[in-house]
Structure 1
């Protein structure tokens, strides 16, 4: 996979960053999202230091990421439970069907 240097702009400042080929649009979208987040934080918090803004934004993004990870974990656990219930239902149906098949065969062989 090739790496390319891409220029992004965050809060009006250009930055050159390395980016895997084909990911330039995603990187630009991330830069736009970060700029919006930083601008919003600057207005809401009245913080003028870019360093403080960056730390606050990073903290917010990490918090959002933790919440999403927890949601994914809960979803995964729910799906695991549903899959196990479905497997049990299928196994029970197969066992029941197997019994019906066995009893049907017995009655056929006793009629011969």
Structure 2
């Protein structure tokens, strides 16, 4: 059975937005809106950027940059872990080969 999307009200910079969202994704939407609201408030409060559109774009750019940095770090860690696993697997294979040769 599908999970119907229901409107969820979120507050961003003092404005309410209703967003259609499946029930099982509701908490993630609320957390996302809360993060965006905090980031936009920080940018607005810094006084360097004026205008809701510009604040929203800067917040989106900052959050996207952080996401890409995190993704790159995760990919790097994953590649490093894969290489270490392959190296350990090669050591195990080598040890087993040596052990089998001794049994013959």
TM over 0.5: yes
Counting matched residue pairs gives: 102
1-side partners of 2:95 and 2:60: how far apart? 52
| Residue of structure 2 in register with 1:23 after alignment | 25
Unaligned runs of 5+ in 1: 103-112
SS at match of 2:24: coil
Does 1:73 pair with 2:81?
Answer: no
2-side partners of 1:4 and 1:82: how far apart? 46
RMSD: 1.2
Unaligned runs of 5+ in 2: none
1-side partners of 2:9 and 2:72: how far apart? 34
1-side partners of 2:66 and 2:58: how far apart? 12
2-side partners of 1:24 and 1:69: how far apart? 24
Instruction: Point out the structure with max Rg over C-alpha.
Output: 1
In the TM superposition, 1:1-112 aligns within 5 A as 1-2=2-3, 3-102=5-104
2-side partners of 1:90 and 1:45: how far apart? 60
Shift of 1:55: 0.6
Shift of 1:45: 3.9
- TM-score computed with the length of structure 1 as normaliser: 0.85
